[in-house]
Structure 1
Amino acid sequence: MDWLSPLTLAEIIAICKEYQIYVSDAARRKREKMVSLIQTFHEDARVIFEQRRDCKKNAALPNKRKSDLPVQGPRKKMKNSGPSAGINGDDTMDKSDEITLPSIVNNNHITTSPEFLHIPSQNELRDCQAEFLQAISPSAVREAVCAVCALLCWEHECSVVNVRNIPNAGRLQPADQDRHPAQVLIAGMLLEEKGVIEVKGKCSATLCGACLQDLHRDKIPRYSLSNKMWIGNIPHQLSCLTIPEQLLLSPIYPHCFIFKMYPKGGAQDDPTCLQSGLHGNVTSYPMNTDEIFSMLQGHMLPRPMEILPSIISGTYVGVSNLPKHWLKSTFRIWRRVVLEALEWLIEHNKCFSEYTVDQAVMASLPKDDVPLEILASMRQETSSHILLREHDSMCLVIVSLQHESYMLESHLLVWYSQ
């Protein structure tokens, strides 16, 4: 007799299996080894076995004669004895025998987890709320620009390092053959100016974790500007161009744009703050190479405005009329802006060095207005449910232009050669 009597070896093994307690095959073969192993368990684990032992002792009825017990028929053998069943395969179990706390075994020690569906206390709720507010606080979602790779990263994932203390700074120096007159070196390194902070005459650089790790290993960061990733800033002459103005200066037309505009609500008389972004999808179609080649004949820019209806199309979904001034910030053409951009491209971009300014076409451009060619290509759809049905089947979203008064959606159609 031992301290686990009257539990049998099979019942002890079943308890171990129920609470996911690992027992070696050697201990399973002999009761003495099993009992000795259980004695080395944590006190919480031994309590489980003691409760099962006491439960079985209390189940015996020594004061009740067998003749007083009701006559029962032959018992059927239980095929399923899962964790919800008793040790002997019975479907019911004494309340004293119910163990509801799952346990985890680690190095022969069992720790019971909190009670299932435990109601949190006020302190726990307060801690959870504090963690949630900290996770969405401005400091947690603040962004920073890495001075090495110019990528936008989370500020809490970056490190601020003094420029003089950047490890292996020689890895950030551009090669002589990659130098460009527009590059600005800081302490001999090619860094993104937005990621460099100067306080009281001391320069510090914001470095993301990946770049800082590569520099500690004396490696060139993969996306560092010095690793032939520098493209410079977009000049103002090009950054202010609208889509129609960009198309007039494009030597080729690999794609066309289809815009869809529909009301969103909000201010109806303030066109100055309508546009905020673009979204849409891309669809590919075969391209007629011969017609495209004939369209590209000549070396004069800008292209005539008659080509705009072929590459720009718009649909307004709504019952009311679309005011013309709503389209101005998106589809406007400004003659002076187009001329300045073309002159900059001819001077600085070798791909435009053979092109000349077509003065006749330039004179036909509006000074600052939406061309009639674009207005004539606009269509109106009064059934708003058509747009909702299209959105239900749309799965690839890349570009969109949102408005306070209407949503502008750009569908980019890409042609490819057969």
Structure 2
Amino acid sequence: PLPYTTGPLAGMQVDPSGVLNDLGNDPMLLLCKSCLHDVNGCKVPQLSLANGTYVGPIPHKLEDLMIVKESMIALCQVKCMMLQLKEENGTVNLPTIQCGLKGNVIVYPQCPSKVSRMPPPSIDEITSPICILFVGAQLPMQDWLKNHVKPLAVSGHCVQWAFACLKTHNPHYHDILLNECVL
């Protein structure tokens, strides 16, 4: 659904948070430099909603999914992901803290016919791209691991709940079945 159905922005795919004076007849759009350059050159901006990548707002229930839960309900699987483990308060930034890089994510397959029709993948498929590398003089203590590596712990009930939410809110999941045997 488009956010604007009437007025000068009717039928346009624009994020309402980037529109000033959207109640009047002369709305003003807020654009980043890259998008402004593309629009001035009569091109659709690369990350524009008009490129068909927008599926609607993310339901509040799905905003805080952890990495492993996301991989269990995703139709395409992540090939490589690097991220940083932080202390919960997030204010400590010492060279001795375990860290990594948060970078690009490679998703496969690129051929749409290969997209999974029955998530989640097997446990081996989920865990094979997960590798934790600790850099430092010694390994972290067991109690630190139990308290700080929670994003890797998943319950089947949470996956079922997130999947049901996706079936309700995302048309790409409408005819997808959940592989209950893997859970």
Structure 1 residues 34-183: aligned runs within 5 Å: 182-183=1-2
Q: Cα offset for 1:350?
A: 5.3
> Aligned partners of 2:38, 2:126: CA distance in 1, in Å?
48
Structure showing the higher helix proportion among its residues: 1
Structure 1 residues 18-417: aligned runs within 5 Å: 182-185=1-4, 187-189=7-9, 190=12, 191-197=14-20, 204-208=27-31, 222-223=44-45, 227-228=50-51, 231=54, 232-253=56-77, 255-257=79-81, 271-273=88-90, 279-280=101-102, 299-318=117-136, 319=138, 320-321=140-141, 323=144, 324-328=146-150, 330-347=151-168, 349=170, 351-362=172-183
Is contact 2:67-2:152 (8 Å) kept? yes
Structure 2 residue matching 1:343: 3-state secondary structure: helix
Is contact 2:120-2:178 (8 Å) kept? yes
Name the CA shift for 1:359/1:222 in 2 (closer, same or farther; >3 Å). closer
Is contact 2:82-2:102 (8 Å) kept? no
Partner AA of 2:133 in structure 1: T
> Aligned partners of 1:243, 1:252: CA distance in 2, in Å?
14
Q: Cα offset for 1:208?
A: 4.1
> Aligned partners of 2:53, 2:148: CA distance in 1, in Å?
37
In the alignment, structure 2 segments of 5+ residues that lack a partner are 93-98
Name the CA shift for 1:213/1:187 in 2 (closer, same or farther; >3 Å). farther
Name the CA shift for 1:308/1:272 in 2 (closer, same or farther; >3 Å). farther
Name the CA shift for 1:245/1:226 in 2 (closer, same or farther; >3 Å). closer
Deviation string 1:8-30 (CA, Å, 9 cap, x unpaired) is xxxxxxxxxxxxxxxxxxxxxxx
Deviation string 1:162-193 (CA, Å, 9 cap, x unpaired) is xxxxxxxxxxxxxxxxxxxx211162413321
Name the CA shift for 1:272/1:335 in 2 (closer, same or farther; >3 Å). farther
Structure 2 residue matching 1:255: 3-state secondary structure: strand
Is contact 1:260-1:317 (8 Å) kept? no
Structure 2 residue matching 1:312: 3-state secondary structure: coil
Is contact 1:299-1:356 (8 Å) kept? yes
Higher alpha-carbon Rg? 1
Partner AA of 2:2 in structure 1: Q
Q: Cα offset for 1:312?
A: 0.5
Name the CA shift for 1:313/1:213 in 2 (closer, same or farther; >3 Å). closer
- Taking structure 2 as the reference length, the TM-score comes to 0.56
Is contact 1:256-1:311 (8 Å) kept? yes
Name the CA shift for 1:253/1:359 in 2 (closer, same or farther; >3 Å). closer
Partner AA of 1:357 in structure 2: L
Q: Cα offset for 1:308?
A: 3.3
Q: Using CA pairs under 8 Å that are at least 6 residues apart, name the structure with larger relative contact order, 1 or 2.
A: 2
Is contact 1:304-1:361 (8 Å) kept? yes
Deviation string 1:350-383 (CA, Å, 9 cap, x unpaired) is 5544432233444xxxxxxxxxxxxxxxxxxxxx
Structure 1 residue matching 2:74: 3-state secondary structure: coil
> Aligned partners of 2:29, 2:80: CA distance in 1, in Å?
40
Is contact 2:82-2:100 (8 Å) kept? no
* Percent identical: 18
Q: Cα offset for 1:346?
A: 3.5
Structure 1 residue matching 2:69: 3-state secondary structure: helix
Is contact 2:19-2:30 (8 Å) kept? no
Q: Cα offset for 1:245?
A: 1.0
Structure 2 residue matching 1:340: 3-state secondary structure: helix
* Number of residue-to-residue matches in the alignment: 159
Name the CA shift for 1:226/1:274 in 2 (closer, same or farther; >3 Å). closer
Q: In the alignment, what sits opposite 2:95? A: none
